[in-house]
Every structure is written in structure tokens, then in C-alpha cells.
Amino acid sequence: MNINYDIPVPNIEEALEEMWRLNISSDDYGFYSEYYPCLTTTNEYEQIMQTKKHIKDQNVLTVLGSGEQPLFFKLFGAKNVITFDISYNSYLMTQLKIAAIKTYDKSEDYFRFLNDLHHTEDTYFLKNKRINRVFDNLKEEHKNYLCKASQKVEMFYTKTCCDLYKLSETDYSKLREIVKTPFPFILSDIKNLDEKLDGQKFDVVYISNICSYLHPYDIRPVLNKTKEFLKPNGKLFLVTAGDYKFDTITNALDHTFGLSSLQFFPEKKGFNLIMVQTK
């Protein structure tokens, strides 16, 4: 299986060239790539929390996203967590957050780091002492790439609204104990993920907002492939924004899994969580 703990660091000039292409692209569905910026914090914490009772002792496959999805699943007691994402920047964000967890022994300091990361423009990373303290705990190749690339390209989204979740000191201390190494990571578009999983199956698969970014005609084929990642009685969690694609997504889930297998959770902050259990 093509799963690595260490993903080769890309060429910075190549990343810069690709970012320029993304900035001028008019293709609504073709601009997600290895260099697409990732969120600094999750915008779906409440949706992830709703999965909590289904995760303990399970083997989980999750989109990496902002890097918090796998952190939460380990906190919830997942046995193993394998991650994937189309963006290398998501992988780097996870390295940053694991380094921050190692750096700060109090949750208050960790959340100050996240807040700084969220609000600090990429070109000012090198001037922020709190961020730099975490940089010092990164692998040298990741630190060098971040320091150079962040001055040239937008690697992470920084937004004015940062709705940070909070963890108790007990949960944060637990996270510090159980998350000491990077998660196994697959750099892949979900449309080609099956080629890299090589038939491996999971108890839980978590897909965060991916279907909202797919072209409508790709949604059903992707869900058909995703079904093959699940063990018998496995569970798929799918998060989608409450947008015009919601009916397209639910119709595709009905076609793939059957309507009776779908469970809809209450909408929270504009996001819908759907759970599907295989037979």
C-alpha cells in the first residue's frame, strides 16, 4: 500500500507556479491540486463531535483537511487512523499542529497558537514568536519549506472569523500522550484514492465537504468507490454544506447505499452530517 509517514517536500518554484495557476483559473471544479491552500482550523467541530460514539477501537480513514479530523478521532479512541488529502499543505498543517501539541503543555497556549496561525498572514509567519517556537519543533525539511514557501504563496487560509473550539485540560493532556508521531498519509485526489488503498477496508470513513467540491457527475462514481473502502457494518460519515448540491448528494447516497441506510444529523452552523452504515 502506498502510505507514507514522510511525504517528499515539493519544489518551491513548482508550488509557486501552480498557485499562480490556481489564482487565475476559471474552472470551478479543476483547481484543487497538491498546492491548494488548506484551512488553519476546522469549521465543522460540532459535526465531528457527533461521530464520537462510533469511533472507539475502530480503524478510521479520514480526509486530512485542517489536520484536526485525525486528532479528534485519536482522542475519541480510534484504534488506527489513516489520512488522505489532495493538498500537500494539509499534510504540512498536521505537522504544525502535532509540533504545537508537543511544544505547549497547556491547552490555552495551544489555542493561542491556533488563533495566531489563523490570523497571521503567511508572509508574517517568520515574525510571530509563538508560531516560530512551534517551527523549531518541526523537521528541518518542513521548516525550511514553510519558511521559504510562505513568503511566496498562500499556503493556508487566514480569515477574519475564527470560531475556535475548546478542549478541556484533561482531553488536551490525553491528546499530548497519544499523538506523538505523524499520521500515515496518502497524497491523493479522492477520485483516485482506491488505487492507493489497494483493497484495504475500514470500520469508519469520514469525508468532509469533498462532495461539495466535486463536479456533480463525479459524485455518484466517487461514492460507489468509497463504499468499497468499508467493511461489513462499516460507517461512512459525510459532511456537506447546506448548498444546492445537497439533493444531488443525498440522491447519490440513496442510489449507492439505499435510503433506509442513511441517518441525518441535525444541521449545525450550515453543515449537514449524514451517516451511512453498510450491510
5 is a domain residue: no
126 CB contacts (<8 Å, ≥6 apart)? 132, 147, 150, 151
Domain assignment present for residue 224? The answer is: yes
**What secondary structure letter does DSSP report for 240?**
E
Host H or E run for residue 83: strand 80-85
244: how many CB neighbours lie within 10 A of its CB? 9
Q: What is the pLDDT of residues 112-153, one digit of tens each?
A: 999 888 888 777 777 888 988 998 889 999 999 888 888 777
In a domain? residue 201:
yes
Mean pLDDT of the region 212-229: 90
Q: How confident is the model at residue 161 (pLDDT cuts 50, 70, 90)?
A: low
7 occurs within a structural domain = no
Q: How many domains does the chain have?
A: 1
- Distance, CA of 79 to CA of 73 (rounded, Å): 9
d(CA 152, CA 148): 7
In degrees rounded to 5, what are phi and psi of residue 168?
-70, 160
Q: In whole angstroms, give the CA distance from residue 147 to residue 47.
A: 33
Domain encompassing residue 137: 12-23+31-277
Which 3 state secondary structure label does DSSP give 129?
Answer: helix
Ramachandran bin of 183, using left for φ above 0, alpha for ψ from -120 to 50, beta for the remaining angles: beta
User: Is residue 4 in some structural domain?
Assistant: no
For the whole prediction, is pTM greater than 0.85? yes
Q: Quick check: is 149 in a domain?
A: yes
Instruction: Please return the burial class of 141, using the count of CB atoms within 10 Å of its CB with bins 0-12, 13-18 and 19+.
Output: exposed
Residue 180 pairs with which residues in a beta bridge?
A: none
Q: Is residue 121 in some structural domain?
A: yes
pLDDT (tens digit per residue) in 44-66: 888 899 999 999 999 999 999 88
**In this structure, is residue 101 part of a structural domain?**
yes
CB 237 within 8 A of CB 211: no
Average pLDDT of span 19-25: 66
CATH number at residue 83: 3.40.50.150
